[in-house]
């Protein structure tokens, strides 16, 4: 490398003042003797002057406004994007829609399942009646005759019991004075020997058959064994002895109370036909829904083999009457307790066999 | 502390209006850097707008490691580089036309508001000379052009250039000296004598 080349390479640094003292001295010594390198230095200075002397350009007058306009649009777009990210973008929207669909289906199933039992309850009574109608009359007659054979004789009952029987037989039927009402009363409280009325809509043939067999048996089987539903009942079911202890012996006061609660029996054919003296097992049940409970009780009575089931509306209550085998009383009491708050206002008959008139007053909880 | 700290903080908190003084403050220098890099005034205006927008979008990420101005110039130079690359790529695929306007300061003069004064001969000569200088700048390789513009035209320090371009000081100097030598040769060629 010649001295000129070396010097010219250092000229930029020399102009910038970046050379060491030694380098600077050598460059200066060479420049003092070399016209060519001095010219190169001058050209370099001139070029730098030309570059540095370039005029500045001014931004257009609208420039700031235009930039800020775009910046503000950007800021608004950011806000919109934030909102749209929350609600509209596809990657969020699709899962939300799917989740919503699943929730709707689950909710629909839940509502359907929660309403289904109530719908069944509402539909049950007509269904039961329909089934009852389907039973052949002769079979019903036969079963009822069998059951009635084991009934205690009416003559063995006391006078108050006879009055009670009359009252029970006309529960809630005070306004009725016509023949139809009388006929219904006859059906509701059939005499032991002649009660095989073919028009017992609530009686189930199978239940009657079972009851008849039980009547024939010397010792009744355990209650739990009689009804499949009883086995499925919650473990809160009271023991038989306990249930019995809750049923007080019927007194005359109770009988009077019952009469005052029920309408007096009109004079006529019905009074004559219900000459049988019978103890009446009375229950008062407080429930949340009288209609549903009535349906369930009717079903229960049918299941337990009750006969002559009638239901009459009185004020805000429904009175269900019928005849039930005495041995089934415990089960009836236990099952009624499952439906609501039960008051056993009438004593359980002392006899453990034969049909016993029952009355269940179903009313709303106070 | 960064002289723009308050305005930048306000912007970071979502105050859009706080960005305006920053635009006012830096637009001219940014425009001149870009204009000297591209040689096209209109394009330079667009690039600077884009650079401001990018800066606003990214301002929450600005942590103050460098001065805000340096950070902003860095964004600007990057935008200018990208635009130049796009333009060069487009030009390679297009047949150059003799009718294409030459983007010089003459063009910029026509865009300036009319001053009402008749251009004098000196102004014309000056503009012509500046046009030639710009042509030589345009002819530099991009890495030399950036350093020359930042150092010799805009007067940034070596440290600032190092921060803006993210290259070592030695590289800045060597590129600058090469750029100056190239400019000297170019200007001698286009102007006859310096």
Give A273-325 pLDDT, tens digit per residue. Answer: 443 445 678 888 888 888 888 888 888 888 888 888 888 887 778 888 888 88
CB B37, CB A81: distance < 8 Å:
no
Contact A43 B181 (CB under 8 A): no
d(CA A55, nearest CA chain B) in Å: 8
CB A145, CB A196: distance < 8 Å:
yes
d(CA B177, nearest CA chain A) in Å: 6
Residue B8's pLDDT is what?
A: 95
Interface of B with A (CB under 8 A): 14, 16, 19-20, 23-24, 27-28, 31-32, 35-36, 41, 44-45, 48-49, 52-53, 56-57, 105, 108, 111-113, 126, 129-130, 133-134, 137, 148, 152-153, 173, 176-177, 180-181, 183-184, 187-188, 194
Residue A196's pLDDT is what?
A: 40
CB A347, CB A251: distance < 8 Å:
yes
Query: Please, which residues have CB within 8 angstroms of residue A296's CB and are 6 or more apart in sequence?
Result: A121, A124, A339
pLDDT tens for A57-78 read 999 999 999 999 999 998 888 7
Confidence of residue A125 (pLDDT cuts 50, 70, 90): low
Rounded (10°) angle between helices A35-52 and A21-33: 110
pLDDT tens for B6-62 read 999 999 999 999 999 999 999 999 999 999 999 999 999 999 999 999 999 999 999
Residue A139 has pLDDT above 80, yes or no: no
Provide the token pair at B164. Answer: 């803006």
Contact B184 A43 (CB under 8 A): yes
Residue A134 has pLDDT above 80, yes or no: no
Contact B180 A47 (CB under 8 A): yes
Residue in B19, B48, B148 closest to A71 by CB = B19
Query: Please, which residues have CB within 8 angstroms of residue A60's CB and are 6 or more apart in sequence?
Result: A66, B45, B111
Q: What percent of chain A has pLDDT over 90?
A: 21
Name the residue with tokens 């199933």.
A109
d(CA A86, nearest CA chain B) in Å: 19
Residue A173's pLDDT is what?
A: 40
- All residues of chain A having their beta carbon less than 8 Å from the beta carbon of residue B19 are 68, 71
**Residue A219: Cβ within 10 Å count:** 5
Residue B11's pLDDT is what?
A: 94
Confidence of residue A92 (pLDDT cuts 50, 70, 90): low
């Amino acid at each position: 490398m010649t001295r000129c080349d070396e010097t010219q390479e250092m000229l930029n640094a020399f102009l910038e003042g970046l050379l060491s003292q030694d380098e600077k001295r050598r460059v200066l010594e060479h420049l003092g003797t070399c016209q060519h390198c001095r010219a190169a230095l001058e050209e370099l200075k001139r070029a730098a002057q030309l570059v540095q002397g370039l005029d500045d350009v001014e931004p257009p007058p609208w420039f700031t406004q235009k930039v800020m306009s775009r910046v503000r649009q950007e800021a608004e777009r950011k806000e919109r994007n934030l909102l749209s990210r929350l609600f509209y973008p596809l990657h969020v929207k699709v899962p939300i829609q799917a989740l919503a669909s699943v929730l709707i289906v689950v909710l629909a199933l839940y509502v359907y399942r929660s309403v289904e039992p109530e719908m069944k309850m509402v539909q049950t009574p007509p269904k039961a009646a329909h089934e009852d109608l389907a039973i052949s009359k002769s079979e019903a007659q036969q079963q009822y005759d069998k059951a009635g054979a084991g009934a205690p004789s009416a003559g063995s009952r006391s006078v108050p019991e006879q009055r009670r029987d009359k009252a029970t037989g006309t529960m809630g039927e005070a306004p009725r004075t016509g023949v139809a009402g009388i006929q219904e009363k006859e059906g509701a409280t059939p005499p032991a020997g002649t009660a095989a009325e073919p028009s017992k809509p609530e009686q189930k043939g199978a239940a009657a058959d079972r009851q008849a067999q039980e009547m024939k048996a010397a010792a009744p089987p355990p209650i739990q064994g009689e009804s499949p539903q009883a086995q499925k009942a919650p473990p809160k079911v009271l023991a038989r002895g306990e249930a019995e202890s809750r049923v007080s012996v019927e007194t005359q006061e109770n009988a009077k109370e019952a009469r005052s609660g029920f309408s007096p029996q009109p004079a006529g054919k019905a009074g004559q036909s219900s000459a049988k003296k019978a103890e009446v097992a009375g229950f008062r049940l407080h429930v949340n829904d009288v209609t549903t409970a009535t349906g369930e009780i009717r079903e229960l009575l049918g299941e337990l083999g009750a006969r002559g089931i009638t239901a009459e509306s009185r004020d805000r209550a429904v009175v269900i009457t019928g005849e039930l085998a005495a041995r089934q009383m415990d089960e009836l009491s236990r099952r009624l307790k499952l439906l609501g708050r039960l008051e056993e206002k009438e004593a359980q008959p002392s006899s453990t066999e034969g049909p016993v008139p029952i009355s269940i007053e179903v009313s709303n909880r106070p | 502390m960064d002289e723009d700290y308050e305005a930048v903080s306000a912007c970071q908190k979502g105050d859009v209006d706080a960005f305006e003084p920053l635009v006012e403050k830096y637009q001219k220098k940014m425009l001149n850097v870009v204009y000297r890099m591209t040689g096209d005034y209109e394009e330079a205006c667009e690039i600077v707008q884009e650079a401001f927008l990018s800066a606003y979008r990214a301002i929450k990420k600005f942590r103050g490691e460098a001065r805000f101005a340096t950070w902003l110039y860095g964004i600007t130079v990057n935008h200018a580089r990208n635009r130049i690359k796009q333009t060069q790529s487009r030009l390679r695929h297009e047949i150059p036309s003799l009718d294409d306007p030459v983007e010089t300061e003459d063009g910029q003069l026509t865009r300036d508001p009319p001053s009402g004064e008749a251009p004098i001969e000196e102004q014309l000569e000056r503009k012509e000379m500046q046009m030639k200088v710009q042509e030589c700048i345009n002819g530099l390789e991009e890495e030399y052009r950036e350093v020359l513009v930042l150092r010799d035209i805009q007067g940034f320090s070596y440290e600032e250039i190092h921060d803006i371009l993210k290259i070592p000081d030695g590289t800045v100097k060597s590129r600058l000296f090469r750029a100056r030598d190239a400019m000297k040769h170019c200007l001698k060629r286009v102007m006859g004598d310096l």
